[in-house]
A and B are shown apart, each in its own frame.
Chain A
Amino acid sequence: MGRYLLGRLLTTIPTLLLVSFSVFVLIRLVPGDPIVLMLGDAADAETVRGIREAYGLEEPIYVQFGLWLLKAISGDLGHSISNGAAVAPLILDRFQVSASIVLIAVLVAASISVPLGMIAAWRQNSLTDILVVGGATLLLSLPSFWLGLLLLLLFGLKLGWVPVVGYVSFAENWQGALTYILLPTVTLILIEIGVVTRMARASTVEVLRLEYITHARAKGVSEASVLMRHALPNAFAPTWTLLGLVLGNLLGGIAVVETVFTLPGLGRLLVDAIFARDYPIIQGCMLFTAFLYVIVNLLVDLCYPLFDPRVMAE
């Protein structure tokens, strides 16, 4: 087990290096200079050059990358160009906001979608099935920003149940924090329910066709047990993989939702940094996101033998 874990972690290193290097190069190819953006048009070329030198931006790109990498290995992701804040704590701080929303959303979405998908599959081609599939497809097709705006309009403005703009952290005031993250979480739940339900239904339909399900019925097993004991563990594996991908994706930033609800999350941080050409923050965010993705999917893979003992044998 330990060897497997270590092997998996080691294989992530080239991925992370590649991601960092391409981000490093690509962001510098984008027109626009962080110092010019910071100082405004009035600054003369000499001052800009001076500050660029101070930030090490005049060095050749591979030297810049090497220096950044050396620091990054020791956990120092540098300081923001625009406001001088340390990047690593900033990312962790913003990540907490995104993660609390995403984790709750994925958990709730999964616990609604999996039973829903299984029931739809069990009653395949019935009215229930058609309604579930129709609903899921509808949710799947809604753009998240539009759904978010409509929810804000209804519950924030018309009904006034939740605040429209702002955020407080859980540490400060947890009841207040709940009211702020409620709508973004609901938006994400609704969007993800569409994807996960369809997946759960499709894999259950596959499993219910198999001979061991008929065999279970031939033993006199009740329909509830057929679904729970025989179909669920086998049908859940593909859904579990999907949940891992969804989670990895969302944790890396839900920029659109965060922008609509003006939440100080990781996605917003990245988008703002891109506009400001704040290289250290962009690099830090991307490295962190890639790392997160890898870790989440590793955890998902490690859980796989729980549903399918054959995986262990391979």
Chain B
Amino acid sequence: MSAILDIAGLKIGVPEGPLVVDDVSLSVQAGEVVAVVGESGSGKTMVARSILGLLPPGLVRGEGAIRFKGESIEAAPWKRMRALRGGEIGMVFQEPMVSLNPAIRIGRQMEEGLAIHRPKMGREERRCLCADMLRRVGIEDAERCLMAFPHEFSGGMRQRVMIAMALACRPKLLIADEPTTALDSLTQREVLDLMVGLTREMGTAVLLITHDLGVVARYSQRCVVLEKGKLVEAGATAQIIGNPQHPYTQRLIDAIPRPEPHGGDQATGAPILAVENIAVSFTRRGGLFGRSSQMQALKGVSLEVRPGETVAVVGGSGSGKTTLGRTILQLVKPSGGGIAFRGEPLLTADRAALHRFRMNCQLISQDPYSSLDPRMRVGAIVEEALRLLPALSPAEKQARVTDALAEVGLSGYERRFPHQLSGGQRQRVAIARALIREPALVIADEPISALDMTIQKQILDLLGQLQRQRGFSCLFISHDLAAVRQIASRVIVMQEGLIVEQGETEAVFGRPRHPYTRALMEASPALALSSRTLDFAEASTR
């Protein structure tokens, strides 16, 4: 069997500067799914883009050969390249929210590729084919979808449209660059199942670019691991996941969260936070002349957090988990119910009580890139939390900042600006800022989902370790079930503004009762992988 795609010794870099991809070789056989795995900065996206000659300005392809069906395309003339793009090689991009042109109807965007690559096809035929493709990716109302604009669809739907668009011309190879990273785990599962199913049906080979080992294990036959632009390991996926040879691959696999025994240290005592039956609704304006409508984000949610325990709130996007966190922090006003902090009701609290609550409750937010003021130095960001403590002298404050930064492993970073730090380092700053006041409760809203796998592990470990030392309670909001299983002692599963299941982590994960919980668990590739690698580890120790 001849290779559909064959890359040999590919180098990509800044002209007369450093290489971002250094000597990468890989091949994709017909009908096969090959994954390229790596963290940010590994050059995996650049490899994908260079195949179609779509490198961003400033980067150039150096040595190396790219062969498509035996034809050398690394220096293909412009016209040939255009025939390949979209016609023979389809591409699906990472961000569904920005990959479709907002000003053009979906039908026109879909037909555009067909019009170029299948010029003989009539307009009516093109339209039928597009509608048919949309139905095949699970969009029921295909005719309406063709006339709609991208902004009318959610991220998951847009990614389906992208896949339908890329496959409409029946390419021989589909390059999927992190196709589901921006989606929640349930949608991710649906979209990937669909993509892999359709390509198998059409005999299209797939080059799957991803950072998610769970996705690699579930969908690819072979994989290639990249680290900082260099190929470190390649081979059959089962082989690499089960028995990684290179230390970097071992680190990646080690970073998959594993369940930790939480037994014994049952949190007792009066709950530090008690949420009772809170409801939140948002007013949504319906179009230019439409009536405004009420959207119920939370429909009566009750929960308790006891001193020192970590309670996880999980659910897909739109489940209301983020709104729950924001409501507890008094950033959103609930329309009903009650919240009590250490027995004191918060919704009717006076300023002093609210102040006490805010001093004792801190937030770690999802995006470390926008949660730190870019014009403040790290030291000042962390110290700001202390400004309402007049009892401390400047020297004492300085000492507290130094200690806090040392605890998160960032000693000596006081004078840096956020843009000089990596994502993981920024999240450490956010943790230091949250913990310097020694809060009794920390609300962490998706604190690791914007980070690379190995960094996720470091941050999770750091949070766990600090919690053991300090004994704060934590409400951990996440869609990442594997991480939740590692860190939380209790889990609350939310769906559409309601709690559908809650209980001890191991009980919920071991015997999920609600179908939504089961669906979430099945959709989590990392969870499946973590039990698989555990099985493997057990087998090898036996």
Contact = CB atoms under 8 A, between A and B. Distances in A.
B470 interface: no
A26 interface: no
B98 interface: yes
B151 interface: yes
A46 interface: no
A80 to B, nearest CB: 44
B151 A310 contact: yes
Contacts of B151: 309-310, 313
B103 A309 contact: yes
B105 to A, nearest CB: 8
Interface in B89-111: 90-91, 93-95, 98-104
A307 B103 contact: yes
B82 A220 contact: yes
A230 B102 contact: no
Contact of B86 (A212, A219, A230): A219
A52 B165 CA distance: 77
Nearest to B289: A3
B181 to A, nearest CB: 13
B99 A211 contact: yes
Contact of A220 (B57, B95, B104, B116): B116
Given A219-B113, A313-B287, A308 B102 contact: yes
Given A211-B95, A212-B98, A220 B87 contact: yes
B377 interface: no
B153 to A, nearest CB: 12
Nearest to A236: B103
Interface residues of A, number: 28
Main secondary structure of the interface of A (DSSP, over half): helix
A220 B83 contact: yes
Contact of B85 (A4, A124, A217, A312): A217
A166 interface: no
Contacts of A4: 288-289
A73 interface: no
A225 B82 CA distance: 12
B373 interface: no
Interface string A288-311: 000000000000000000011110
B117 interface: yes
A310 B98 CA distance: 13
Contacts of A241: none
Interface string A62-90: 00000000000000000000000000000
Contacts, number: 87
Contacts of A215: 91, 93, 99-101, 162
Contact of B103 (A214, A222, A225, A233): A233
B140 interface: no
B149 A309 contact: yes
B112 A221 contact: yes
A216 to B, nearest CB: 7
A49 interface: no
B301 interface: no
A211 B93 contact: yes
A233 B86 contact: no
A229 B111 CA distance: 13
A29 to B, nearest CB: 44
Given A230-B104, A309-B151, A310-B102, A219 B93 contact: no
Interface residues of B, number: 35
B421 interface: no
Contacts of A211: 93-95, 98-99
A45 interface: no
A70 B114 CA distance: 64
Main secondary structure of the interface of B (DSSP, over half): loop
B8 interface: no
Contacts of A314: 285, 288
Contacts of A128: none
Contacts of A308: 102-103
Nearest to A210: B98
A218 interface: yes
A212 B289 contact: no
B104 A229 contact: yes
A225 B112 CA distance: 10
Contacts of B49: 214
A262 interface: no
Nearest to B175: A218
B279 interface: no
B169 to A, nearest CB: 8
A137 interface: no
Contacts of B84: 220
B99 A220 contact: no
Nearest to A124: B57
B270 interface: no
A234 interface: yes
Given A211-B93, A310-B151, A219 B116 contact: yes
B107 to A, nearest CB: 13
Contact of A230 (B54, B101, B289): B101
B103 A219 contact: no
B104 A221 contact: no
B101 to A, nearest CB: 4
A267 B54 CA distance: 53
B54 A217 contact: yes
B483 interface: no
Contacts of A230: 101, 104
B216 interface: no
Interface in A29-73: none
Contacts of A210: 98
Contacts of B152: 313
Q: Which of B54, B95, B102 has the most CB of A within 10 A?
A: B102
Contacts of A212: 98-102
Contacts of A310: 102, 149, 151
A115 B7 CA distance: 39
10 contacts: A217-B54, A217-B85, A218-B93, A219-B85, A219-B86, A222-B82, A234-B103, A307-B103, A310-B149, A313-B151
Interface of A: 1, 3-4, 124, 210-212, 214-222, 225, 229-230, 233-234, 307-310, 312-314
Interface of B: 49, 52, 54, 57, 82-87, 90-91, 93-95, 98-104, 112-113, 116-117, 149, 151-152, 162, 165, 285, 287-289
Given A1-B289, A3-B289, A218-B52, 19 more contacts: A211-B93, A211-B95, A211-B99, A212-B99, A212-B100, A217-B54, A219-B112, A220-B83, A220-B85, A220-B113, A221-B112, A221-B113, A233-B103, A307-B103, A309-B103, A310-B149, A313-B152, A313-B287, A314-B288
